[in-house]
Amino acid sequence: MDNIILIGMPGVGKSTAGVILAKILGYQFIDADILIQQEEGKLLKEIIAEVGVEGFIQVENRVNSQIQCERSVVATGGSVVYGKEAMEHLKSIGRVVYLKVDFDTIDSRLGNLKGRGVVLKEGQDLKGLYEERIPLYEKYADIVVDQTGCSVEETIEKLVKML
């Protein structure tokens, strides 16, 4: 149980905070989105374009279910919480930390959603996605770090105190 798993909406800074946190703790850093891209040999947006949202969620669930690591900070994709097996596995190998920010912050940080490989269902907008995912993030989180109005440094400081 020495891993830290970061979950949260796209744009909350899971990768940025994860790299810094790993350095502070002397841990490895794993970006789950990069693992998916390496395993599939394609960019996230290409996978989504080829197999659709549901197909991507299956790929993400499979790859995240197979992560084996120790003393690592794992930054997951925002849609990892749709994969029950992945989340159960991640909870079994570490503490799940939900990096939480308010909708307005997410809205201001995210530019082109499709270009980022964000998993949006047909006809869904960012607000709908946010409202759909928040209960899932809260369900799986062992620790919640509300970083609304915080810099990355302040977020890391809060997180280190909670660990």
Q: Which residues of 100-131 are buried (b: 16+ CB within 10 A; e: fewer)?
A: bbeeebbeeeeeebeeebbbeeeeeebeebbe
State pLDDT tens for residues 48-63.
Answer: 999 999 999 999 999 9
Segments making up each domain of the chain, as ranges: 3-162
pLDDT of residue 33: 94
Band of pLDDT at residue 21, cut at 50, 70 and 90: very high
Does the pLDDT at position 75 exceed 60? yes
The edge-to-edge listing of strands for the beta sheet with 94-100 is: 28-31, 72-75, 3-7, 94-100, 143-146
Single pTM value for the model: 0.93
**What is the CATH code of the structural domain delimited by 3-162?**
3.40.50.300
DSSP state of 12: S
pLDDT of residue 36: 97
